Structure 1
Amino acid sequence: MTNLWKPEIFQGRNKKRDYFEGWYFKSIDKEEKTAYSIIPGISLSKDSKKSHAFIMVLDAKNHKMYYFTYKTTDFWADKSKFEIKIHKNTFSLKNIHLDIDDGKNKIKADLEFSNIIPWPVKLLSPGVMGWYAFVPKMECYHGVLSFDHSIQGYVDIDGDKRDFNRGKGYAEKDWGKSMPSSWIWMQTNHFEEDGISLFGSIAKIPWLKNYFTGYIFGLLYNNKIYRFTKYNGTKICKLIVNDDKIEVKLENKKSILEINAKRTEGVDLPAPSLGEMTSRVNESLNSKININFYAKNNGKKEFIFSGTGRNAGLEFVGDINELLNGFRK
């Protein structure tokens, strides 16, 4: 139970099958010419022969994806803090070290992270999922480990060495049985002003032989995280998804957030289903997200901020009608 208040650490110590856990590190260089997502994790299948640890690397600018598999015995996780090792590779909230050579591709990296800003963890709300984190046997759990952080270091893929000094990063994770059958995900921390970051997710949540649509959005602005979530009473007033854009309007008692995200071509990544990495999700790190942020004061809407987030991660999977119908449940 104590692990609930440490969403960043490995949660699956007693799991043997039908389980996955993955950490997502997004890194953008200072000049915004290079965008990598590095995703370590473990996949535990009903068929033990299919179980494996993995490291995924997405080169978003060049639309390339690398997927490296390892034995589950090559996976190690600290019991009390977030530190994992997969063969010669190590991951924590402070750094990543990669030393990969599968005979076809060689990837080496040393990245140091500082000024990390996580989603706050409180006694009755242990992270981004709020009180839902206490609900057992949910299909998928989520954690936001860093809205924004600074990077020092490099990544070298097959001799192409990229400098990440003074770059910017973001980190999150998922764990459970499967990713939802339908979801929207978005993230950006490259606005005109430094220190602004947006994360958002809308998903189909199975519940008591039925389902509902859950949503979690967080806006880091002026050193404060503004939360727009189902569990804090936020309503989704608008949701439009088509081939070109995703529009969302969220409103609660204190604030209004309007989002207009432009969809761009992405790369297909493996995703978990019943622990196995057999699904696919198309992810772009080249999207743009326009936001308008307002405060509510005595029933009046007061403008706070408007801007465009660059190098945005954006995903849409499944059926928009499932998500819309889920609001009515």
Structure 2
Amino acid sequence: MNQNTSPLPTPHSGYHWNRIPRRFFEGWYYRVTLPDVRQTFAFMYSIEDPQGGQPTSGGMAQILGPDDEYLCRTFPNVDRFWADSDQLALGHWRQSGTPKLLDPKRFDQTIVEGYQATNTWHQGRLKEPNGNDAEWQYSIAPVYGWGDRQSTAGILSSLQIFEPGWQVLMAHGHATGYINWNGKRYEFVNAPAYGEKNWGGAFPSKWFWLNCNAFDNEPDFALTAGGGRRGVLWWMESVAMIGIHYRGQFYEFVPWNAEVNWVIRPWGYWRMDARNQHYRVTVTGTTELPGTSLRAPTIDGMQFVCQDTMRGSVTVELWDRAERLIVCATSDLCGLETGGAPWNETWASGCGLNF
């Protein structure tokens, strides 16, 4: 069912660590797409076992930049990480000092390497030993959170029976500022921006993901879709969902209100079909690019277990109950991902209600 949307804060915006001794990670994802130059910057932050003293304890910042180039830095000191439990705000840097949200000018003057981010501001700088570097500052104006401020993964996201929790924080927004990447400066005004997060004791054993909010001739269209094999109590289940924000409406296809089917190759092809009582949708993603390997949390810490491109092609077709086409949206600036294992063959499956 479509619903009115609101830019007010989404659930799960705050930091989830409850200090209970257990394997724990939390990750945040910020993205800016620059349609004029056909490029995207995706920033991925993580903290693992923040109690410290564990082989996996520490933080990491990864960036997937222009032409799917990759930059990564680790921040091993967990006491230099901070996050707000009540709202979206976090940061991590290398030097000592009390970790907290800083005035942007003070951050710029005092932080040699690190980042800080909220729902309306994002800045940082990283430099690899090989000389590759990035520096960024931009403001964010949220447009869509997730539906009517609802949980992406439903009530299970609120309970400690689901691994991992997943929340789209901002399905669509506008970013204004700049990013310096290896000596090249990118300035932008009202560029499409996106944000999500995940947390828990384990990533899915296998997953896929499609995301885009920079569609051709459809500036008010945002897609997030994905699925995986997740742990619920003592069993595993395969689930998937599609969420679309379009012209002030939210179209949600999840296992508890829809039938969702998918056919995903190990790389290069993503196809999802879903229907509920009111709508039907088809999402097709493709790429001939090789993609870039990224790190994600595993039982043994951050490992190269997923493949991404931010330059995939996608077509989304949405129909109403009378089979009238509501919109057909296309883009070649779609984020596409497969992760986990095994990916030896095509994964075809389905979940949810039957209509």
TM-score surpassing 0.5?
Answer: yes
1:15 to 1:22, Cα distance in 2 relative to 1, 3 A: farther
1:277 to 1:17, Cα distance in 2 relative to 1, 3 A: farther
C-alpha deviation, 1:223, in angstroms: 1.2
Of residues 294, 298, 301, the one that matches 1:269 is 294
Segment drifting more, 240-249 vs 191-200:
240-249
Please tell me whether the aligned partners of residues 116 and 150 of structure 1 are also in contact (alpha carbons under 8 angstroms): yes
Taking the aligned partners of 1:47 and 1:326, their CA distance within structure 2 comes to 41
- What are the superposed Cα offsets for residues 90-136 of structure 1, whole Å, 9 maximum, x if unpaired? 111101110334554443210111133111356xxx41111222332
| One-letter code aligned to 1:48 | Q
C-alpha deviation, 1:160, in angstroms: 2.1
TM-score (norm 2): 0.82
Q: Does 1:153 align with 2:159?
A: no
For 2:125, the equivalent position in structure 1 comes to 99
For 1:301, the equivalent position in structure 2 comes to 323
Taking the aligned partners of 2:350 and 2:330, their CA distance within structure 1 comes to 29
Of residues 162, 165, 187, the one that matches 2:211 is 187
For 2:88, the equivalent position in structure 1 comes to 82
For 1:35, the equivalent position in structure 2 comes to 40
Instruction: Structure 2 unaligned segments of length 5 or more: list them.
Output: 1-8, 94-110
Taking the aligned partners of 1:37 and 1:15, their CA distance within structure 2 comes to 31
1:326 to 1:207, Cα distance in 2 relative to 1, 3 A: farther
Q: Does 1:57 align with 2:63?
A: yes
For 2:244, the equivalent position in structure 1 comes to 219
Taking the aligned partners of 1:275 and 1:137, their CA distance within structure 2 comes to 21
Superposed CA RMSD in Å reads 2.6
Give the total of aligned pairs: 318
Q: Does 1:141 align with 2:165?
A: yes
Matched position secondary structure for 1:61: helix
Please tell me whether the aligned partners of residues 139 and 176 of structure 1 are also in contact (alpha carbons under 8 angstroms): yes
Please tell me whether the aligned partners of residues 182 and 322 of structure 1 are also in contact (alpha carbons under 8 angstroms): no
C-alpha deviation, 1:220, in angstroms: 0.9
Q: Does 1:177 align with 2:177?
A: no
Please tell me whether the aligned partners of residues 19 and 275 of structure 1 are also in contact (alpha carbons under 8 angstroms): no
Of residues 64, 67, 72, the one that matches 2:78 is 72
Taking the aligned partners of 1:248 and 1:168, their CA distance within structure 2 comes to 24
For 2:335, the equivalent position in structure 1 comes to 313
Matched position secondary structure for 1:50: coil
Of residues 110, 122, 125, the one that matches 2:137 is 110
C-alpha deviation, 1:308, in angstroms: 0.8
| One-letter code aligned to 1:231 | W
Please tell me whether the aligned partners of residues 163 and 232 of structure 2 are also in contact (alpha carbons under 8 angstroms): no
For 1:48, the equivalent position in structure 2 comes to 54
Instruction: Structure 1 unaligned segments of length 5 or more: list them.
Output: none
Please tell me whether the aligned partners of residues 204 and 322 of structure 1 are also in contact (alpha carbons under 8 angstroms): no
- What are the superposed Cα offsets for residues 199-257 of structure 1, whole Å, 9 maximum, x if unpaired? 0011112234332211121011121110000122x112453536432211101111000
1:17 to 1:5, Cα distance in 2 relative to 1, 3 A: same
Please tell me whether the aligned partners of residues 269 and 286 of structure 2 are also in contact (alpha carbons under 8 angstroms): yes
C-alpha deviation, 1:63, in angstroms: 2.6
Matched position secondary structure for 1:73: helix
Matched position secondary structure for 2:67: coil
1:220 to 1:189, Cα distance in 2 relative to 1, 3 A: same
C-alpha deviation, 1:50, in angstroms: 3.3
Matched position secondary structure for 2:12: coil
Of residues 246, 266, 269, the one that matches 1:245 is 269
Segment drifting more, 174-183 vs 40-49:
40-49
1:273 to 1:309, Cα distance in 2 relative to 1, 3 A: same
Taking the aligned partners of 2:56 and 2:169, their CA distance within structure 1 comes to 29
Taking the aligned partners of 1:70 and 1:158, their CA distance within structure 2 comes to 24
C-alpha deviation, 1:290, in angstroms: 0.7
TM-score (norm 1): 0.88
